[in-house]
Structure 1
């Protein structure tokens, strides 16, 4: 899951990005409304976390432009403005949730996951393919009831493939889902990642496997006898 964080306070932005990263999200950061708008034009995000007190514009103007442009990406507003009128205004302009500063990282993560579980959202509680189950809340994978311990990127890649089981996911789509702007991604990074994950699942006895469609991408399919 890829998130956009629009926050001008560098220290807070770094802390929030680190916390969301630990929760399994890939984070792009923008420090002003203009950069946030540019990021939204160039990338599809699962959730936007939006501060209101930006240096070049009120965050609500970015929210307004987003909704007027027909973009329904879920938006969580972060703000120190605690007036009821401020919250109502934001919600009326299209915000999906409001979180007052200061806040606990656990609450922000929980609110993001709630948005992603809404009808039309991208996050189900539990994904199942064959004897592989993925608890998206606990971020745990079991194969035939036994806990699998992949690395974070492997876990993220498996989630993308399970959500699109039977459909081909391109290398570029995996890179977009797993890595934020500025992350160093070598030309063979995805291949190496998929190789490790495939081998780990084979050793665990998974009855689904990651198939490669050369030159196109990867897909998750049941093993054939």
Structure 2
């Protein structure tokens, strides 16, 4: 999970993630980029972040209004040292997705962050259902037609990430940041290799091409590949198309992550 953490200069150590967020990053796999409030909307628009965290002394609506008026859809959670009821109501009414105390337990904060990202992706539970595909986030398992797909830990991470972000094309840089937050990142070609291996495993379950390759950009979950067998057969007969030949060649991507501050990566 990639987080843009916007610090508050009025708070002591406001240029660092609060202790709850830092500990949540240790317990989960989170990549944190610290930023000041200047240029935040443009940073969120140009770079891929799963959620923005606003660290504030008390909930303040001004920055949230700016983000929402800039039509940036990235979910936002406010972490404040004090949370008066009226101010919490105000930030929620102008577009914040949640508002919590800075003293929140790390395990609860991590669960809230994941729940918000899940809901934004159109998923209302810890189990993601996409046609024949089921991703059990709590158990870290992937099933096709209720049959367990034997994925490695990293392969599962790729499937979960693309399932959570269904409909979106993710660059290799984004996938690497999400999978190796805080760790020494391998060469980008490792993602191409994992995608190829997952394809081969999924093919044994009757899923020909679980991912769509966007050349020069990245990968996207191919929802049509997981359509129920009867539906897919009907669609294929009514509109026959020639399937693309699978390839394991790496995607060449020149997209770079842009931000207005340094990156702090923390992971378990």
Same fold (TM over 0.5): yes
Aligned residues between the structures: 210
Aligned to 1:5: 5
Deviation of the 1:60 alpha carbon: 4.5
Deviation of the 1:135 alpha carbon: 2.1
Deviation per CA, 1:72-128: give whole Å up to 9, x if none.
32211111113223323322442221111211233223323443454xx20423223
Larger radius of gyration: 2
Find 2:52's aligned residue among 39, 48, 52: 48
Matches within 5 A, 1:128-207: 128-130=130-132, 132-148=133-149, 150-162=151-163, 173-179=171-177, 184=185, 186-202=187-203, 205-207=204-206
Q: Is the 8 A contact 2:199 2:208 kept in 1?
A: yes
Range 210-219 or range 9-18, more displaced = 210-219
More helix by share: 1
With over 3 angstroms needed to count, the CA separation of the structure-2 counterparts of 1:90 and 1:62, relative to structure 1, is same
Deviation of the 1:137 alpha carbon: 4.4
Range 69-78 or range 33-42, more displaced = 33-42
Segments of structure 1 that go 5 or more residues without pairing to the other structure are none
Deviation of the 1:148 alpha carbon: 3.8
Pairwise CA RMSD: 3.8
Matches within 5 A, 1:16-55: 16-21=24-29, 27-34=31-38, 36-37=40-41, 39-53=43-57
Segments of structure 2 that go 5 or more residues without pairing to the other structure are 8-14, 234-268
Where does structure 1 differ by over 6 angstroms across 4 or more consecutive aligned residues?
none
Deviation of the 1:18 alpha carbon: 2.9
Aligned to 1:127: 129
Aligned to 2:263: none
| Structure 1: distance between partners of 2:165 and 2:80 | 35
SS of the equivalent of 1:133 reads strand
Deviation of the 1:51 alpha carbon: 1.0
Length-normalised TM-score, structure 1:
0.69
| Structure 2: distance between partners of 1:31 and 1:86 | 23
Q: Is the 8 A contact 1:5 1:48 kept in 2?
A: yes
Q: Is the 8 A contact 1:2 1:27 kept in 2?
A: yes
Length-normalised TM-score, structure 2:
0.60
| Structure 1: distance between partners of 2:42 and 2:186 | 22
With over 3 angstroms needed to count, the CA separation of the structure-2 counterparts of 1:196 and 1:98, relative to structure 1, is same
**Whose RCO is larger (CA < 8 A, sep 6+)?**
2
Aligned to 2:262: none
Q: Is the 8 A contact 2:82 2:101 kept in 1?
A: yes
